[in-house]
Amino acid sequence: ASAIYRDVIGLIEDTAKTGFLQKMWRKLGNTTQKFLKGAQDMYIAEDDVWKIFNFFAEDFKINRAYQAALKSGKIKRGDLPNRLEIMKMATKNVREMLPNYAYVSELVQASRRSPMGNFVSWPAEIIRTSNNIMAGAKREIKDPILKRIGWERAVGFALTVGTIGPAA
């Protein structure tokens, strides 16, 4: 489940003690409740689809890099990681480089009860993932097999950071 979803659930649990939400929920009726539940499910599904797409992209790039290294003679077949190892590398990249609110600190999670609300989680995740993207790119650039991926990641990040400010 998405962390924003968990943040919302946390807020609901915090306010449940007053009984206000329960009274409002009963007044909404079944049709509205079903619509809201569907919207919630769609939001969670969209977040999951994006992570799955990124996993397949990372897996493809890493596998392509190792196959190219094998073909060019940089590595021997015995040095080639198996599919599970490549998938683990892809999973690690997605976990570290895509926002995932399960990884925000307890301080940030507690701040959702403050006047800032959930607005603290997003910047905290952007900082975490930005650091991880650049650290990952730096690590990949040093690896002769993953060098292309590292440069693509570094240039893509630099272009994103360089254009978001002026575009906004």
Give me the DSSP letters along 4-49.
HHHHHHHHHHHHHTTTHHHHHHHHH-HHHHHHHHHHHHHHHHHHHH
pLDDT score of 64: 97
pLDDT score of 40: 75
The pTM of this model reads 0.70
Q: How far is CA 56 from CA 1, 51, 59, 62, 148, in A?
A: 20, 9, 5, 10, 17
User: How does pLDDT run along the chain (168 residues), one tens digit per residue?
Assistant: 466 666 777 766 666 667 766 676 677 667 776 777 777 777 777 778 889 999 999 999 999 999 999 999 999 999 999 999 999 999 999 999 998 877 777 777 777 666 666 677 788 888 999 999 999 999 999 999 999 999 999 999 999 999 988 888
Those residues with Cβ within 8 angstroms of residue 128's Cβ, 6 or more apart along the chain or in another chain: 103, 104
CA distance from start to end of the chain? 30
Q: How far is CA 80 from CA 33, 72, 83, 94, in A?
A: 52, 13, 9, 21
